[in-house]
């Protein structure tokens, strides 16, 4: 019988060719990490500039973004000359006074009369909607419009 000799195949990854493969991978990894570090380092100043710009934009928007709370009411107030403006918040607070100023701007040319409840129409800007409803009941007023932000335009029964 003719027996073939079996040759032993070295499947072990620890031979001389395996160390060459590991060295190449190690070099490629080093090159990749170097390029990645260079890209990150060159983009840090650009990122810092953008962050400064965003911070500045936020400071400006802090004082401008309040007006959206009165959106939708201007179309109902444009033919009204005077509206009483009632709030249960402290007007001495910066946020409350900004809110009143923005209401004046958004609802112009209508004149808002701060905490004057003698007008036929009153804009109720309360910290809680229940307080606004209680105030309307006290004034014998009916809600005419309410926007999604809880601002209520009420009409007094004179």
Q: What is the pLDDT along the chain (158 residues), one digit of tens a residue?
A: 555 556 555 555 555 555 667 778 888 999 999 999 999 999 999 999 998 888 877 666 555 566 788 888 988 898 899 999 999 999 889 888 888 998 998 898 999 999 899 999 999 999 889 999 999 999 999 999 998 888 999 999 87
pLDDT of residue 66: 66
pLDDT of residue 142: 95
**Cα–Cα dist 146/44, whole Å:** 48
- The answer to whether 111 touches 82, Cβ cutoff 8 Å, is yes
- The answer to whether 123 touches 103, Cβ cutoff 8 Å, is yes
Give CA torsion, residues 120, 121, 124, 129, to 10 deg.
90
pLDDT of residue 94: 87
For the chain, which residues make up each domain, given as ranges?
A: 17-64, 66-156
Domain boundaries 66-156, CATH class: alpha beta
pLDDT of residue 124: 95
pLDDT of residue 156: 93
Does this model's pTM top 0.75? My answer is no
Phi, psi of 85, rounded to the nearest 5 degrees: -120, 115
3-state secondary structure 41-86: HHHHHHHHHHHHHHHHHHHHHHHHHHHHHHCCCHHHHCCCCEEEEE
Give the contacts of 157 (CB within 8 A, at least 6 positions apart): 140, 141, 142
């Amino acid at each position: 019988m003719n027996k073939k000799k079996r040759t032993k195949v070295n499947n072990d990854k620890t031979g001389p060719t395996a160390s060459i493969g590991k060295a190449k991978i190690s070099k490629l990894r080093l090159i990749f990490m170097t390029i990645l570090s260079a890209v990150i380092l060159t983009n840090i100043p650009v990122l810092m500039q953008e962050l400064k710009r965003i911070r500045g934009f936020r400071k400006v928007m802090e004082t401008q973004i309040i007006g959206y709370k009165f959106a939708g009411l201007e179309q109902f107030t444009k033919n009204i000359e005077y509206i009483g403006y009632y709030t249960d918040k402290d007007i001495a607070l910066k946020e409350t006074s900004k809110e009143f100023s923005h209401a004046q701007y958004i609802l112009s040319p209508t004149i808002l009369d701060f905490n004057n409840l003698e007008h036929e129409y009153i804009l109720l800007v309360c910290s809680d909607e229940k307080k606004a409803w209680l105030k309307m009941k006290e004034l014998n007023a009916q809600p005419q419009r309410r926007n999604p932000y809880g601002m209520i335009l009420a009409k007094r029964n004179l």
